[in-house]
Structure 1
Amino acid sequence: MPELTEKLEHLVAIPSIAFPGYPEDRVREACDYIAAQLREAGVPEVRTLDLPDTAPIVVGEIPAPEGAPTVLLYAHYDVQPSGDETSWDTPPFTPTTVDGAVYGRGAADCKANVVAHLGALKAFDGRPPVGVKIVIEGQEEYGSAFDDYPPENPELFRADAILVCDTGNIRAGTPTLTTALRGVADVFVEVRTLKAPVHSGQFGGAAPDALLALTRALSTLHDEDGNVAVEGLRRDAWEGANYTDEEFAEITGMEPGMPLIGSGPVGERLWYGPAVTVIGLDAPPVDTAASAVVPYARAYLNVRVHPEQDAAEGQRAVVEHLRKARPFGIDLKVTGGDTGSGFAARTDGPAYAAMSRAMETAWGEETVDMAMGGSIPLTTSLARANPGAEVLMLGAEDGKCGLHGFNERVLLSELENTALAEAEFLRLFAETRR
């Protein structure tokens, strides 16, 4: 662990932000460091995959022993921008250890998982009992052409099991496999009612108010409890692990006394049901507003779809619902944007069984299932390249790690157990072919 901790701190200190406008040489620095560490861990074939308009991808391979299965290990080395650095308790790119946790941007998402892969490989001195393929991506946070690459070049990613290490545990100390990801779709709604603003005193009350019409239509997307009320969006019962209401309130930073929206188990609302969120609104700002009827307004909706429902189908359901709304008899212009597929993993195969046992060994607790409300596009892409492979989603993150936020951190105990579980999985999965 001292060695793995040192490697994590080294990586966190590199601001590998692959967003436009940030230094590309720091991204390449992280890439080169990881490639060198994989070689040191015994991976004989390490190279970078350079695609147009994306950061380099580190790929490596350890050939499988005779008759052994092959496991693909995935993580990413790029990170989110740090945001306002004055909001951090410690500098985001100065790794700081406090109470058994390493703080810094990317410590949890996803550099700890890169280091866990290194730890698992070193546990076997670079000679694991299975074949290993390694894919460490460099532009996951911003998105890139690599999302579509694996199905077009499946031989590079051929494996019997795929470990997507970009998730984590529902809470620290509870080993958790993520078994589903919701799909995502964008919807845009706009309304124009007048050629220009008109005096609200002279004409308000009869002149069609675009902002009022828009907010009226948006209010029809949910029922009185906050459940999504769009016909055709799928929601099923969730039987895996759940957050308590209190736990969820703490994780999300809810104001005291603030209720959750919707009804039913929290996990069902987050992972096995839809969500419609207004993430942007074009309207006059309050500070400079005039006493006038608003002639034009627009909203940007982010729609999350059940893991097994087609995201485009979910998008169409929301578009159709809003077009039918016609608030005060006013037609809305509703258009669809990008979509991303969800994913549901198999839970009845030998890899799932081996990983459940391995995680129980590492943590000393029963392994539970959870899902994610977010999406990991490459998961679906890797699955399409490997139709027969089992996909296992796990990692060193936990519900309070603060990924994408200020004061991101990873618990060293979670990093240690992730590396142990991965090493134990490689041993157990090898035995499935004996």
Structure 2
Amino acid sequence: MAHVGLDLKQDLAELIAIPSISPAPLGPLHDAFERVKALFAGAGVQDLRALELPDTAPVLVGEIPPPPGAPTVLLYSHYDVVPAGDEALWTSPPFEPVERDGAIYGRGSADSKANIVAHAGALQAWDGRPPVGIKLVIEGQEEVGGGALTTYPPTAPELFAADAMLIGDMGSVRPGVPTLTVALRGMAMVTVEVRTLDGAKHSGQFGGAAPDALLAVLRALASLHDEHGDVAVEGLRRDEWNGESYSDDEFRALAEVRDGMPLIGTGGLGSRVWSGPAITVTGIDVPSVENALNAVSPYARATINLRVHPEQDAVQAQAALVHHLRAVRPFGIELEVSAGATGNGFAAGTGGPAYAAARAAMVKAWGIEPVSAAGGGSIPLVNALAAAAPHAEILLVGATDGYANIHAPDERVLIDELERAVGFEAAFFGELAERARG
């Protein structure tokens, strides 16, 4: 196992200390870009430069030419982070990295600055001369959708051509369990709204007959799930998940489910959060309780987030949800339903030499066979990279773990998981090169 020495710890600490929040003023993002550039220059990457795209934080690209006949590996991660949120909920300030209890704490420590350090550490383990070619893509806008980068790779496929890609934005399902994330759900947004009256009307005088816009929207939203909590929209794909998953107790702890509250839905947990649809009401315009009036609501609106099976087209899934909501007609009221943004999921092909190399390298780094898991969220750039290099094997890996508190207070990366991630990547380069020679 590679050792994360003081230099790599210091590199990670210096990155965490830069509040590279996106979207935000570009100053801290540029500072993070320059620090990452210096890190990879020291790791032997050549021709480092900024890929400048419209309205997008600079993307760091560079390469190490492959030895004759060797494959090329693209290394991806991102240097931007989400805001810290309520800093009073943090044990230590979010942008002041602290090492305690075998972990390094700070915003971005796990998502995804540790993965940047893992990439650099693996190259350093080969003294900047790995047995494979390297292409580097480190972006600074992943947390807000990626900007123009999400559509750029297919327009410049030569920049992204590779035999394998290590997408450093994931990690182990739990500490000590090497994990290959082989699928990501897609996403689609839908808005539903209705205006039934020209203005609010006294509930005593008009309630009971006047069409209540809020009741109509609530009834439509309630139709999206059955009595068990399973999604009840026809046309949305769901399959059982056969890979690794969390236990119910683990999931309850991670989701901070209150005592006595049930989990919703039926079937395997993996199919509910990874290989099946999920519908969440992410916003609703209603009168607040504090400012409530005894009045029939004339207008209501809700925003719905749909998570889509990794292999179902997100636009198709969105159309199924739109059709369902338009057909509900609560109390005979026609709802206005509009389609928003979509993003397809991802399902990896896992039978090629890069996956074989990754499994062998994970055994070397962790000492046990890896498991396969999925992600309920999305990484915007993955499908664009797949389109630019359709024959490349794409591996979603990283230094984090399921308990890392990403996007939450006290985000942290375990030092031994980071060590293993560095060791895995270094071993992966050797394993992949050996298979290419064989």
Normalised TM-score (structure 1)? 0.98
Aligned to 1:102: 104
Residue 23 of structure 1 deviates from its aligned partner by 3.4
Query: For 1:184-195, what aligned pairs fall within 5 Å after superposition?
Result: 184-195=187-198
Aligned to 1:49: 51
- Partner SS state of residue 143, structure 2: coil
Query: For 1:55-70, what aligned pairs fall within 5 Å after superposition?
Result: 55-70=57-72
- Partner SS state of residue 321, structure 2: helix
Determine whether 1:234 maps to 2:237. Answer: yes
Using the aligned pairs only, state the percent identity. 59
Which shifted more, 312-321 or 76-85?
76-85
Query: For 1:5-404, what aligned pairs fall within 5 Å after superposition?
Result: 5-19=9-23, 22-143=24-145, 144-404=147-407
Which shifted more, 33-42 or 292-301?
33-42
Aligned to 1:427: 430
Q: Deviations over 1:18-42 (max 9, x none)?
A: 31xx332211111111111111111
Give the aligned CA root-mean-square deviation in angstroms.
0.8
- Partner SS state of residue 227, structure 1: coil
Q: Deviations over 1:111-151 (max 9, x none)?
A: 00000001100010000000000111111112211111111
Residue 68 of structure 1 deviates from its aligned partner by 0.4
1-side partners of 2:78 and 2:163: how far apart?
A: 21
2-side partners of 1:38 and 1:269: how far apart?
A: 39
Q: Deviations over 1:239-275 (max 9, x none)?
A: 0001111100000111112111101111111110001
Residue 53 of structure 1 deviates from its aligned partner by 0.5
1-side partners of 2:159 and 2:123: how far apart?
A: 20
Residue 44 of structure 1 deviates from its aligned partner by 2.4
1-side partners of 2:315 and 2:25: how far apart?
A: 36
- Partner SS state of residue 118, structure 2: helix
Q: Deviations over 1:181-205 (max 9, x none)?
A: 1110000000111111111011111
- Partner SS state of residue 311, structure 2: coil
Q: Which amino acid aligns with 2:72?
A: T
Q: Deviations over 1:149-199 (max 9, x none)?
A: 111111001000011110111111110010011110000000111111111
Aligned to 1:4: 8
Q: Which amino acid aligns with 1:14?
A: I
Unaligned runs of 5+ in 2: none
Q: Which amino acid aligns with 2:411?
A: E
2-side partners of 1:171 and 1:211: how far apart?
A: 42
Q: Which amino acid aligns with 2:235?
A: G
- Partner SS state of residue 377, structure 1: coil
Q: Which amino acid aligns with 1:114?
A: I
Residue 50 of structure 1 deviates from its aligned partner by 1.3
Residue 224 of structure 1 deviates from its aligned partner by 0.7
Q: Which amino acid aligns with 1:28?
A: H
- Partner SS state of residue 436, structure 2: coil
Q: Which amino acid aligns with 1:369?
A: S
- Partner SS state of residue 280, structure 1: strand
Q: Which amino acid aligns with 1:271?
A: W
- Partner SS state of residue 104, structure 2: strand
2-side partners of 1:15 and 1:314: how far apart?
A: 37
Q: Which amino acid aligns with 1:103?
A: Y
- Partner SS state of residue 297, structure 1: strand
2-side partners of 1:218 and 1:32: how far apart?
A: 47
2-side partners of 1:390 and 1:310: how far apart?
A: 21
Residue 353 of structure 1 deviates from its aligned partner by 1.1
2-side partners of 1:320 and 1:139: how far apart?
A: 33
- Partner SS state of residue 117, structure 2: helix
- Partner SS state of residue 188, structure 2: strand
Q: Deviations over 1:35-77 (max 9, x none)?
A: 1111111112211111111111111100000000000000001
Aligned pairs, number: 432
1-side partners of 2:151 and 2:167: how far apart?
A: 16
- Partner SS state of residue 91, structure 2: coil
2-side partners of 1:211 and 1:187: how far apart?
A: 17
